[in-house]
Each structure stands twice: as C-alpha cells, then as structure tokens.
Amino acid sequence: MDNDLLKAKAERSVSADSAPAYGETATRRSSLKQRVWESFRRDPNAHVTAVAPFLEGKSYDIENAAESAASSPLHRSLRGRHLQMIAIGGSIGTGLFVGSGRVLATGGPASLLISYALTGCMIYCTVQALGEMAVIFPVAGSFAHYSTRFIDPAWGFAMGWNYALQWLAILPLEIVAASITVDYWESNISNAVWVALFWAAIVSINLFGVKGYGEAEFVFSSIKVIAVIAFVILGIILNCAGGPGGSYLGGRYWHDPGAFNHGFKGLCDVFVNAGFAFAGTELVGLAAAETANPRKSLPTAVKQVFWRITLFYIVSLTLVGLLIPYDNPRLINGTSSVDAKASPFVISIKNAGVEVLDSVMNVVIMIAVLSVGNSAVYGSSRTLAALAEQQQAPRFLAYIDRKGRPLWAIGIASALGLLGFLAASGQQEAAFEWMIAISGLSSIFTWGSICLAHIRFRRAWRVQGHNLNDLAFRSQPGIMGSWIGLIFNCLILIAQFWVGFSPIHHETMSTSMLVSNFFSKYLAAPVVLLFYIPYKLRFKTKILRSKDMDLRTGRRELNVQWLIKEERAQQAAWPAWKKLYKFFC
C-alpha cells in the first residue's frame, strides 16, 4: 500500500513539473526539435476512405470523392498578395525568356506574336472560367476534380494524372535549365553541383508549407515582373536608336529576313511552345483550396492574367521580334532549348553592346527557372494528394501533416527532381526534349478540360434552377469564352498532330527521326488515353447528366447571397473610372 502511495505521489510530481505554467502552452515550452518533429505527424483531421475503389469494388463513389475534396485538411494560409503575384508571374519562366527564341527562329517574329497572342487570349478565357468555378468550389484538386464532378470520373482521373505527370516532368526539366544558365559564365564547376544546390533550394522552400511557397513566389514573381518591365523600357530605347550602336531599327527585321519563317506550318509548329510558356497559369485555381478568402482574393488574381498576357508576353515579345532577326546564329545554334545564350532577351541586350545587363538578365532567367521548379513541386504534390483523397491514387499519397503539407507527394516529386542530374551526363539535351514532350501538350488537355467543365457546370447551374446572379464571381467572357477556349485547344491539338506527323523539312528526315519527332510533339495524347480508357472500362463510368451533378458539396459559403447583393449595389454606385479599373483589376 505504501509503495502504491509513493508511486502515485511521484507521478503527480512528474505531472506537475511537466505541466505548462499559467498562460503558457505545452507546445510553446517544447524544444524546437520536438516541435519540428511533431509538425510532420498526420493531421488529425486528415482522412481517406479505407477501401480504394481501384482495389475493391467496381463502381466509383463520386459523392464521397466530392466530400473528400471539399474537406481536405490543407491549410488556408495564402493571402491576396500571394495569389496576385502567382497570377502575374507564376508561369514566367523558360517558356518566355528562352523558349521564345526557338519560336522566333522557327516561325519568325509574326508567328511568335500570333502564337503567343492567340494562346494568351485562350488562356484568358480559360482562367476566367476556372476562377468562376474555384470561387464557388475552392476544393482540393481544383480543375481535375471539376472534370470528375462535371464531366466524367474517368476523364477527371486522366486529367489529374496528366497534370501531375506534367509537373513531375517539369521539375527536373527546370533544374536542368537552371544548371545550364550557369554555363553562360563559362564556369568550370560541374553541372551536378548546381543541380544539387537548386534541388535542395526548391525542396526546402516546399517543406515550409504553403506559406513558404506563397512567400517565395511573391519574391520570385516580383523580381521577374521588375525585370520584364525594365526590358520593355530598354527595348523601346534600343529600337529607337538609344543603344551604344546608335542605329534606328524600327521594323527592319520584319522586312529582312521577313515576318514569317516556314509559312503556315512554321506558325502551327510553335503553338506547343507557346502553350509550354503559359503552363502554370492555372495554378491560381489550384491554390484556391489553400486561400483564406477565395471569394475576395481569387477574382482580383484572375483578372491579373490580362496584364500578364498584355505586358509581359505581347509587349516584350513584340520588342524581341523588332530587336533580333529570326536567322540570328545564336538563336539557331543554341546548344539546347534551355541554353540562356539562345535567349532572345539576352541576345538583344548583347547585340546592343550594353555591358553587364546581359548577365543581370541571365540571373533573372535563373530565378524564373527556380520559380517554375518551385511551382512544379507545389502543383504535382497537391494534385497527387487530391487524387488520393478522391480514391484515384494510392492512399499513402493522401498523408497530410499538421502543417498542411502532403509529405509523401512532396517526397515523390522531390525524388523525381533528382533526374536533373542528367544535366551532368551526355544525354542532357535528349532528356530535356523528352521532358518537354511529356509536359508541353499536357497543358492543352488541362485547359480544354477546364473550359468543358465550365460549360457543363453552367448548364447544370441553369437546369437545377439557379440564377447567374447567385455566383460570387462570373467569368467576364462567360460561356462563350469557354466555347472559344475549348475550340481553340482542339485546333492546337490538330495543328500539333499535323506538324508532328509531317514536320518542317520532313523530306530530309529518316523514318526513325520522324517517329521520334511525332512522339516528342504528341506524347501527352497517348498518355491521357492510357489513363482514361482502362479506368473507363474498369469502373464503367458515365458522362454525368446536368440534373445529377452535385452543386452543393464544397461550397465554402452557401449563404452569401445577401452579401453579394450588397456588394453589387455598392459597385453600381462606383464612378465610371473605378468600374473600368475594377473590370481589369
């Protein structure tokens, strides 16, 4: 008995010593090491259905998938400023700074401008449609989930994996690109060293959670925006005889060697590069699930796409076409598609004889590349986790820790990033071209699916008796914009099939070269079919009918009609200048 009393007394003593003082929590008193370790434990709110349908059962539970996507334990830490910078600078990377050089060399300055302008208009319609759906349904998985919910679960499965594979391929691609940018300074350090440093930096940022990703993108995008604005100002000065050479250029290179190269086929050939340049625009919708107030932040961020398309792509590339002829040897003889020496931005500065600025632009290119690599880990990990929560991927990928990080998904993305060490091998260029093949056309399928999902959503919204005035945010181009986006995406797929099957100078190419060229341009299509057809046959999913679509699950704010009416009454009283400003911003 005495021993029991002594034991109880000792336990009370230990309990009292370990108890937090008044006003101090136990977590606050724990060591940093312990807090970090505890943060990696599974979030107690995280859950996934015990039996995945691809393991047992023969039908897909779309209601459970919608509920899982809506109740994901991802943290809602992103603010309005994060979303705005993700929208403005999120996809400004190698596609603009370097890939545009290949477009210029292949199609000429007119093809460069037309391809990016048409793709930009299509992206504007697509992102507006995505914004409308993401504001009312800010769920995990975003557009992949919308395909499951408004089109067909089998198509949503294919689109989810298509998007995940796209970003999984882009990560090592961007790490390789970053290591190649260092070669601009003719460093004797092995590319493997730079790959290791860039890989570690990208992974570290994503281990800080969504807040770390948001802050990093805010800084990266700010640098890219400043650099592009500075280039536009410099480009205007150089074109108007303000450079060290002192000669007026005007539209000289549009006449000699000309505005087009390789005619209409040259124009069709460069659309996939334009699509690759805009990849990442849709990340705004994916980030909606981790945004504190998407109803307020997302519409403003979506409208920022207009400025990115206009200023950062159209204006800057117009100047590029005026400053460099498409037959410039540096454009043609670049060692790879990501060689900074082949960047038209760097070449135009170097041709003008402006000292130092070419190196500054190369640093910006490196930062832009790292930014896209950062987005690659974010995009792939969130998509994989959402697929797992919707029972369309292995269950372990749905593991989300107490900081809102999908750890297993981040781990897989990071592991595949190690493919970047191919930059130190003799297969550097071949590996890069195949990574582009996987990722380049994937965006076209994603954007087309977003437009189709919006068309189907609008129909279901009307059929089920809802009014468009009940939507907190409406797409500015409306349903017509989604039809334009869908049709244009289909036209790009057709054009790419043509140039893949019958490329420029196909007469001089062997059969093996023609086959390799076709798959390098069209690899994403068979990948999508390999996911779609077996899933369709296995679960016998059907295209959803408008009256059966779930328009309730996942709506973060169901009773805001009165607030929306009040806001619109205030907007009606705005002066004309403010209405115009808010329309674009």
DSSP string for residues in 303-359 = HHHHHIIIIIIIIHHHHHHHHS-TT-HHHHS-SSTT-GGG-HHHHHHHHTT-TTHHH
What CATH superfamily is the domain 72-541+556-584? Amino acid/polyamine transporter I (1.20.1740.10)
Q: What is the pLDDT of residue 17?
A: 42
What is the Cα–Cα distance from 524 to 165, expressed in whole angstroms? Answer: 10
Q: What is the pLDDT of residue 333?
A: 55
153 close to 65: Cβ distance less than 8 angstroms: yes
Q: What is the pLDDT of residue 81?
A: 78
Burial grade of 217 (CB within 10 A; 0-12, 13-18, 19 or more): buried
191-207 and 153-182 helices cross at what angle (nearest 10)? 130
Q: What is the pLDDT of residue 570?
A: 63
C-alpha angle 185-187-193 in degrees, rounded to nearest 5: 125
Q: What is the pLDDT of residue 451?
A: 96
C-alpha angle 362-364-370 in degrees, rounded to nearest 5: 105
What is the Cα–Cα distance from 475 to 473, expressed in whole angstroms? Answer: 7
Residue 579 to residues 81, 506, 562, 573: CA-CA distances in angstroms?
21, 53, 21, 9
177 close to 369: Cβ distance less than 8 angstroms: yes
Torsion of the alpha carbons at 290, 293, 294 and 295, rounded to the nearest 10: 160
Q: What is the pLDDT of residue 158?
A: 94
10-residue mean pLDDT profile of the chain (585 residues): values are: 48 44 46 68 58 50 69 72 72 77 88 89 90 86 86 93 90 82 79 88 89 86 88 88 71 89 85 79 79 78 75 86 88 56 82 82 86 88 89 88 87 89 66 69 90 95 88 89 94 86 77 77 85 92 89 68 59 66 61
What is the Cα–Cα distance from 579 to 573, expressed in whole angstroms? Answer: 9
Structural domain boundaries of the chain? 72-541+556-584
Q: What is the pLDDT of residue 490?
A: 92
Phi, psi of 540 (to 5 degrees): 50, 45
Q: What is the pLDDT of residue 143?
A: 83
Which long-range contacts does 248-256 make (Cβ < 8 Å, 24+ apart)? 249/322, 249/323, 250/322, 251/322, 253/109, 253/321, 253/322, 253/323, 253/324, 253/325, 253/326, 254/109, 254/110, 254/321, 254/322, 256/325
